[in-house]
Amino acid sequence: MIVRRKNKVAPPPMSCPLSACLSIIGGQWTPNIIWFLSEQPRRFSELKDDIQGISPKVLTTRLRKLEADGIVLRTVMPTSPPTVEYALTELGKELKPAIEAIVRVGKKLKALKNETAE
């Protein structure tokens, strides 16, 4: 008979800061959106071209959620026809180091995977 060990680590509370942050950046495509907005504001069509494989519907949904979460600012430009630009808020800019750290680890994981595949 195998004795099942109990986990000694308590689960994070529902109001855990880690859970709050991961609920924002943990979604598919969301880190990509933050990455491409990290240098300068982008229009919807530019983001669509930047993020290969994302559908317009999903991009719209993610941008609306990020805007509601206070991460992205949506600005309607007074042009004819009107254009919309998306930019990171100050809070959104604070996520950039976290995304960069994930990218660094991702590169190491890919390299390790390639080494073991050879």
Which CATH number covers residue 62? Answer: 1.10.10.10
Per DSSP, helices labelled H in the chain are 17-25, 30-37, 44-50, 56-68, 90-93, 96-117
Does 2 fall in a domain?
no
Does 91 fall in a domain?
yes
pLDDT of residue 109: 94
Q: Measured in whole angstroms, how far is the alpha carbon of residue 47 from the centre of its chain?
A: 13
- Which has the minimum average pLDDT: 8-17, 24-33, 47-56, 105-114? 8-17
Query: In terms of C-beta density within 10 A (0-12 exposed, 13-18 middle, 19 or more buried), how is residue 62 classed?
Result: buried
The residues pairing with 88 across neighbouring beta strands, listed in sequence order, are 72
Does 70 fall in a domain?
yes
* pLDDT tens, residue by residue, 29-74: 999 999 999 999 999 999 999 999 999 999 999 999 999 999 999 9
pLDDT of residue 12: 66
Q: Provide the domain count of the chain.
A: 1
Does 64 fall in a domain?
yes
pLDDT of residue 117: 78
Does 13 fall in a domain?
no
Q: Which residue has the higher pLDDT, 90 or 1?
A: 90
Q: For residue 61, what are the domain limits?
A: 29-117
pLDDT of residue 39: 92
Strands lying side by side in the sheet with 72-77? 42-43, 83-88, 72-77
Average pLDDT over residues 68-83: 93
Q: Which residue has the higher pLDDT, 118 or 70?
A: 70
Does 23 fall in a domain?
no
pTM of the complete model: 0.79
